[in-house]
Structure 1
Amino acid sequence: MLAHSLRLFGRISVTRIWQTPILRCMSSASNLHPMIQGFTGKLQQPKFAVSPNEIRILSKPTQFYSQILDMIRRAQTRIFISSLYLGSSESELVSAFTDALNKKPELQIHMLFDLNRSTRPGPRSTAKLLAPLVSQFPDRVHVSFFRSPSLRGILAKLVPPRFNEGWGTWHAKIYGVDDEVMISGANLNQSYFTDRQDRYIHFAGQRHLSQYCFDFIKTVSGFSFKLQSPSSRGSTGPHSFRDREYEISWPIPETHPHHIHTTAELALSSLQNNYCPTVPEHHDAKKVTLIPLIQAGQFNIRDEETALKMLFEHLNAESKGNRPLLDLTSGYFGLYKEYQNLILQSSNIDCRIVASSPRANGFYGSSGISGRIPEGYTLLEQRFMNAVQRANRQSSVHLNEWKKEGWTYHAKGIWISEAAGRPPMLTLFGSTNLNSRSAHIDTELSFLMLVPESSASDSLRRQLADELDNLRAHSSPWKGADREVRLGTKALVSLVGGML
């Protein structure tokens, strides 16, 4: 592996990595179902070949938490994590980090979170939880906080901490150690470990995939704030600030944190476009293809949007009399308008959707304005189903709602099957909610996984089918048409609909 640092400007550098086992350009993939053959060759993002027996799909929050703890305990040289935040009660995770650092002198930890969520006022914010770890291991623990530049000017001073996430968050979810990585949509908080349903896909022994995820975190950390001990530096630099227990420093004083758009676009584009410029001569037809998709609309990076448009167009054109089945789910079903149009206009594709019921929405029962959010999603669902009716797609587009007593719903993604009753041959998984927020203001990382037609992949396709069946088992036909949406909620959605 040959690494080369590309310096953009300021103090940011992007690592280019040349790795022959990664696929960059595949004009065709004869191992895939004919319905999706040729699709991957249209995508320019890095492509990773992974053995299907090294992929495990988890189904329960408790499995997700146990896997994270097990990974931390067996880490040897590096732990790399990206999440929205670390929950205020997660002292066991912090203790696991501390134990691993004490036992493994060579171990380094790199973590990336959202700044606004991680520094909310309160006794146990993410920053406060991790500050002692940074103080104890200043050269081995590296914690960065991304801040969306969309909230700036007078609004940055006026918007209360509880609502400043409406202008964008760091939303990518990566949990990795050494050469293994788990991709999810779940955050590091108690509910995600117990009674909040999500998706979790673990990859073992994946040096190249893990290195990509690590480089992705390092790239964004280059234009993110740093967590430091309040006594580790002298006076704070421009745009940095102090709390009694920690300091948040800005690493590139010559660039204002509100003006990182060009920096971020260049860095993320370079990561995707230059990660692997060579193609292996032979690709094992039994291996699964993984394609990372970055969606960062505020930085003009729209991999997910481009890939899904290509996928719908390809499926609609290649169905040739067969009707592929698309399953889609989102805990926050405010489906991005472009994706709505793709569903409504793809007359050769059947579509089943699972959304959160109001009671399974994480904001259900919240006080103040946020308590109206589930009702706001009901309004968006009503509008979508009205559009389905106008497009005369009622027989081929179905909406269900997920409900499980005492649980909330946070799963998201897409599955493609060649027909109803057949196991999926493709899935999209990761952090995206497939809504307007994900498209325009949050920063997301998701993956397309294309599974070949081979006996070696039968088990993985069954895992995907089981995952989908488990989610649908708690769903029932949508009842939102009969739910009342108050006038105040309609006004709220008209004002902030793109933030839902």
Structure 2
Amino acid sequence: MLATITTDLDKIAPRFEVQSDQIEILRTPSEFYETLKDKISKAQSRIYLSTLYIGKTEHELISTIRTALQQNPNLHVSFLTDALRGTRETPAASSASLLAPLISEFGPDRVEIRMFHTPNLTGLRKKLVPKRINEGWGLQHMKLYGVDDEIIMSGANLSTDYFTNRQDRYHLFRSKELADYFSKIHNGVCDLSFKVSPGSSEAGYAMTWPASNQAPSPLASPSDFKKSASKHLSHLLTPSNSPPASSTPTATTVYPILSLVPLLSTSTELPALTNILQSLSREPLHPSSWTFTAGYFNMTPSFRRLLLNTHPASGTVLTAHPHANGFFGSKGVSGMLPDAYTHLAKMFLRRVRYEGLSDSVQLREWKKGRVDEEGGWTYHAKGLWVTFPSVSPSSSSPSTEPKSQEDPSLTVIGSSNYTKRSYELDLEANVIIATSDPALRKRLGEEVKWLGEYAKPVDEKEFEKPDRKVSMSVRLSMWIVRVLGGAL
């Protein structure tokens, strides 16, 4: 049954064959942080970190990188963050001002700092949209944490909450071929990004567009920037980037799938996911079981249709309770986001009922305390796990009886939130893991279970409670953002 999907994926994205013990699934924010620091401290040749932002007070992380650079003169470090998010606090402390001193200390040949700027927010629109919400028009959202011949794929950014009390997913791949591939992606976007260097201004840094970049500045000519970016990046996403096949087939394959729209006219994430979900609606993969999770509940209507059209034996959608939403209690417009996601969750359950799937599809909300109180956590995990129908020993036909004890054979992990932003505005990087290895399948099953430990089922009645009612102002704000070309 796995071949039903991988045969099609081979035509969409590069294929990397790995052994199951080359993949380690990390469980907690602190384990992610300690593993990342440990890998950095032992780095020999390269560190590349693609993230939305690095917290402006992450001095311990920067100190770990500084020590690694001091101990190994052959080490090169490259940072890629988002220009809007990484400079938002300027002239106060920001990601840019935190990182710039590393160049003063070790030189531009050993430390590179790049910040990607979306071509969708320029001119008058950029002047009018408040900094707090301007990320709704596009971001560098990839989370690639590469050190030598290993890479951590995650949805987590590099800041204190992601290291302590914001639950995400984290998969460590010990594969030189995979680390090399994502290094090319990282470097390719760096060649299309602003360069940060130390500066004498109050901000503490300078941001320039190097003449050596592979495109004109997105602020000077958005259309020409997109054309050049497409020529520079598109070849990196094709199956031709697959390394030579192993002489002995492995039980596990990894497919990098990316969404680099608006830079490319087409990307590989949405076609790959569409293919998977359509396959789940047909034999021999029907009826499968799946768990889908997104901390920010705003899947596109088309993705929702694909998900529900699978008519699963059992389907679970796991998302954050408003009290576990990173925007809960925020000031201004962003403080409306938890209510906006509540409204969208209610609409999802209404659609489930309309499709006659209430007995097989459930929505669960994750909550571990309140984010605005001591000990409260937020939820930021995203991805998909699929368990295929079991095959009866006495028959070659899949059993229609769902068996909850069976473990996933496929998962998707990465930065994508499966939203309009993910498919039209942001840069996203993910991988599909397809495996028949029992040990890895068991670990994927355990991952689903521990992520669901703090989740409870909710139904439509939950959203009729007074404290879950969504005001008209929130709905109006959602409409305004869409009219202006942005997305939640």
Calculate the TM-score normalised by the size of structure 1.
Answer: 0.86
Distance 1:137 1:274 in 2: 38
Alpha carbons of 1:230 and 1:451: their partners in 2 closer, same or farther (altered >3 Å)?
A: same
Alignment of 1:316-335 (within 5 A): 316-319=281-284, 323-335=287-299
Partner of 1:342: 306
Alignment match of 2:345 (pick from 381, 384, 409):
381
Q: Once the two structures are superposed, what CA deviation does each residue of 1:17-69 show, in whole Å capped at 9, x if it has no partner?
A: xxxxxxxxxxxxxxx6466463434x321111111111110110000000110
SS in 2 for 1:301: coil
SS in 2 for 1:84: coil
Distance 2:105 2:453 in 1: 47
Task: Answer yes or no: is the 8 Å Cα contact 1:39–1:314 preserved in 2.
Answer: no
Partner of 2:39: 71
Partner of 1:229: 198
Distance 2:3 2:56 in 1: 49
CA drift of 1:178 comes to: 0.6
Distance 1:181 1:256 in 2: 30
Alignment of 1:449-468 (within 5 A): 449-452=433-436, 457-468=437-448
Partner of 1:441: 425
Q: Do structure 1's residue 247 and structure 2's residue 206 form an aligned pair?
A: yes
Partner of 2:9: 40
Partner of 1:93: 61
Distance 1:366 1:358 in 2: 12
SS in 2 for 1:445: strand
User: Structure 1 counterpart of 2:216, which letter?
Assistant: T
Partner of 2:463: 480
Alpha carbons of 1:153 and 1:98: their partners in 2 closer, same or farther (altered >3 Å)?
A: same
Q: Once the two structures are superposed, what CA deviation does each residue of 1:152-175 show, in whole Å capped at 9, x if it has no partner?
A: 121112222222111111100011
User: Structure 2 counterpart of 1:474, which letter?
Assistant: Y
Same amino acid, percent of matched pairs: 36
Task: Answer yes or no: is the 8 Å Cα contact 2:289–2:312 preserved in 1.
Answer: no
Partner of 2:245: 280
User: Structure 1 counterpart of 2:340, which letter?
Assistant: G
User: Structure 2 counterpart of 1:427, which letter?
Assistant: T
Task: Answer yes or no: is the 8 Å Cα contact 2:17–2:245 preserved in 1.
Answer: no
Q: Do structure 1's residue 315 and structure 2's residue 298 form an aligned pair?
A: no
Partner of 1:414: 384
Partner of 2:487: 499
Alignment match of 1:150 (pick from 120, 131, 134):
120
Show structure 1 runs of 5+ residues with no match. Answer: 1-31, 232-241
C-alpha root-mean-square deviation of aligned residues, in Å? Answer: 1.9
Partner of 1:173: 143
Distance 1:430 1:381 in 2: 22
Partner of 1:430: 414
SS in 2 for 1:317: coil
> Which range moved further: 436-445 or 257-266?
257-266
Task: Answer yes or no: is the 8 Å Cα contact 2:47–2:147 preserved in 1.
Answer: yes
Alpha carbons of 1:481 and 1:170: their partners in 2 closer, same or farther (altered >3 Å)?
A: farther
Distance 2:440 2:68 in 1: 32
Partner of 1:257: 218
Task: Answer yes or no: is the 8 Å Cα contact 1:265–1:301 preserved in 2.
Answer: no
CA drift of 1:98 comes to: 0.9
Q: Do structure 1's residue 102 and structure 2's residue 102 form an aligned pair?
A: no
Task: Answer yes or no: is the 8 Å Cα contact 1:294–1:301 preserved in 2.
Answer: no
Partner of 1:17: none
CA drift of 1:275 comes to: 5.0
Alpha carbons of 1:344 and 1:270: their partners in 2 closer, same or farther (altered >3 Å)?
A: same
Q: Once the two structures are superposed, what CA deviation does each residue of 1:233-255 show, in whole Å capped at 9, x if it has no partner?
A: xxxxxxxxx76421111024872
Distance 1:102 1:285 in 2: 39
Alpha carbons of 1:359 and 1:476: their partners in 2 closer, same or farther (altered >3 Å)?
A: same
Partner of 2:81: 113
Alpha carbons of 1:278 and 1:79: their partners in 2 closer, same or farther (altered >3 Å)?
A: closer
User: Structure 1 counterpart of 2:164, which letter?
Assistant: T
Distance 2:121 2:161 in 1: 28
SS in 2 for 1:354: strand
Distance 1:416 1:484 in 2: 33
CA drift of 1:209 comes to: 0.4
Task: Answer yes or no: is the 8 Å Cα contact 2:253–2:433 preserved in 1.
Answer: yes
Partner of 1:304: 269
Alpha carbons of 1:132 and 1:347: their partners in 2 closer, same or farther (altered >3 Å)?
A: same
CA drift of 1:347 comes to: 2.7
Q: Once the two structures are superposed, what CA deviation does each residue of 1:430-455 show, in whole Å capped at 9, x if it has no partner?
A: 00011222121111001100012xxx
Alpha carbons of 1:278 and 1:178: their partners in 2 closer, same or farther (altered >3 Å)?
A: closer
Q: Once the two structures are superposed, what CA deviation does each residue of 1:373-408 show, in whole Å capped at 9, x if it has no partner?
A: 100001111112112222222122211100011000
> Which range moved further: 116-125 or 482-491?
116-125
SS in 1 for 2:62: helix
Q: Do structure 1's residue 217 and structure 2's residue 186 form an aligned pair?
A: yes
